[in-house]
Every structure is written in structure tokens, then in C-alpha cells.
Structure 1
């Protein structure tokens, strides 16, 4: 049964994931008024969180956070360039198939998220890295393993800098309470609707941004590469 505990996660991370979820709901349900209403509510409450904390869309961050955000973007784009070399150069015909498959995973949905809200960017980046690390043999074939470690390290450094600022903001309990409860209720309403029969496949897709979030106590860089099992469709419960 699908369960999500908001208190275990960074509030801004959850808000970013909810914006992603709202977009996914609209993508899959263009004619479903009930689902679209849930998407509108989810987006409204998520944006209330980002506005209350200074706005993740406009990135009003410290110079350190901005620098570390740029660093992780650069490290990810380095992966793209390396794979393109293996795909296009006649010197790498033996590794071209492996590079092509990894490139498809990395860029299949585009890299526009790199210019998006910080929390959404982190969630999407971690999701991509997990999928790539599930192809350990292909990473080794093109020599990408150490570069993957660089991206993980850059993401961890960014999260640490962002969380340091977030801890100061979350020290304002009246602000947290005012935006957390509506967001939690909106998430529950989406989970409840997705628990209805016939929505199992959609639930897996829509709830993926929440599933990708790491709890506050979980390290951003795993000791071993993650190898996800075939996901089962969640059965939401509140």
C-alpha cells in the first residue's frame, strides 16, 4: 500500500515533487475533470509553499547554492558529452551501442528540468542517476562510472548547501504549519483518487516524483549503485 509521510521529507523537496505530479496528472488526464481539479489543488498548495519560503522558481538563493547548482548541472552535461563522443566517433564503434542506450535513458525526456525549481531538479536528477546505475555493465563499458560519482557528489554538495538555508527557514514554525497542512491534504486527495480501480498504471507514473524523494535521514549518495526492481503499481492508502 502506498504511504507518504510528509514530515520525513524536506518541505521544499515535496513541493517541487508535487509540481511535477500536477504536470503528470494533466498529461495523462486531459479530459478528466476530477483529476484535473486535484492537479489544480496540488499545484496551488505546492506554490504556496514555494512562495512562503522565498520561491524556488526564482531561485533566491545564496551565492554558494547558485554555484553548487551550476556545478551539478555541468557534471550532468559532461555525461551527455561523453556519451555523444562514444556514439559519434569512429574510434568508439565498439562502445556505441552501450552509449546509445545510456544516452536514451539520460536524455529521453529532455534536460529542461535543469532550469526548473531546485527541488524538482534534484528529484529528477536522482531518478536519472538511479536508472543509469542500474546499467552498471554499460557504464563500465564506456568508462562512465567515475563521472557518475562526480555527479552524485555534486548533487550531495548542493543538497547540503540548500538544506543549510532551509533549516533556518524551517525554524519559523508558524510559517511551516500554515503551508504544510494544505499541501499534505492535497497529496492525500490525489492518493485517494489514484487508489480507485483502473488507475493502477497511472498511479505509478503520477506518484513517481514522491517515490523518488529521499527522507531527511537518508544520505544523498548511496554506498552502492541502486538497482531498482520492476515497480509494482502502488495501492494508495491514507
Structure 2
């Protein structure tokens, strides 16, 4: 019997590759077998490429974290401006801080909870305003340079991850690893049938040993244990 459906995809990927290597090593002169071995190797490569879906998910999680970091960096810059303002007009830097505060909050703060792409546009515009040479003296007077650099770095990191996510999304295959592995199972079954017809049962089972052993291990691991 050919029972390999229960093997986890990542394990089956490795074991299927070993089976193909076994057949290629011992039966390289069998053209009909090698045709399916080559087909199987191509299918395994497709499965590996389709695994980028998991990487895509990981990058998406990193983007959410980076978005929170830049939100906090933006808020921190506002809080620093508020600190000068709260001290009143007698505080040196009050008017400069008030000007910065009005610019940073001119559209409110709701944009931090909106579209990530839209937020990037707004923050980039605000950074351009802050980094304008005509405001260098103002920024230095309020000692805001480290806070502005922090926001700029946070935005750059978000942009990097956002671009990486876009690239990954465009490269995502239309089929999942599971769907492609079902196709690989079909190739493995064909190879098994061909070998059983042309070679001995022992030779066939020796070539397919990696898959049988993986299947046996997985079934054993799922057996319920009996309490003593």
C-alpha cells in the first residue's frame, strides 16, 4: 500500500527528495523512471518556492510592528513640542515649539490609524518640512534633532519592509505547498507502480524507504497513550 498522505509537508518534501535521489542513483539507466524522477525534482522545487507564503506572512507581521514604532516616534516628537508649550510663553523656544506642534497636528492624529501607505505620505511630508534648512536653527534650539532622526529611521525601516512585502506578494505562487505536494504524491505513486512492475518488491521498498519510515514515525507519534 502507498500510504504517505499523513506525513507533514515539510517532512514529506525532504523524504521525497531522498527517494528521488535513491532512484536516480540506482536506476539512472532506466529512461522511463528518470523521466518521472526529473519531473518530481521540478515539482519539489515548485513546492520550495511556494513556501514564500510563510515568509510573506512573517513580513506582514513585521510591518505591523514597524508601523507601531513609527507611530510612537511621531507621537514622541509631538510630546516634546508640548513640553515646551506647557511651560508657557516665558519658556525659551515656546513660539518655535508651538509652530512645530501646529504643523505636526494640522490634520489631527487620526491618520496614524488609517492607511499605512497614506500615513507614509503624510509623515514624509512632515519630515520634509522639519528638515528644511530654514528650520535648522529652530530644531537645534529645541534639541529635537535626535527625535526627528528617530522618526526618520522608523519611517525608513517601514518603507523597507513595505517594499519587501510588495515584492513578496508579486512573487507568491498561485498554488499552496499543500496543493503542489498532492501533485508530487501522484508522481511518487507513479514511480512506485513502475518500479513494482519492473523490479522486485525489495528493491522498490528500499528506494522508497525514506517515505515509509517517515509515515511510520508520524503514525506512531499520533497514537494515543494509555494511562497506567
TM-score (norm 2): 0.47
Structure with greater Cα Rg: 2
TM-score (norm 1): 0.45
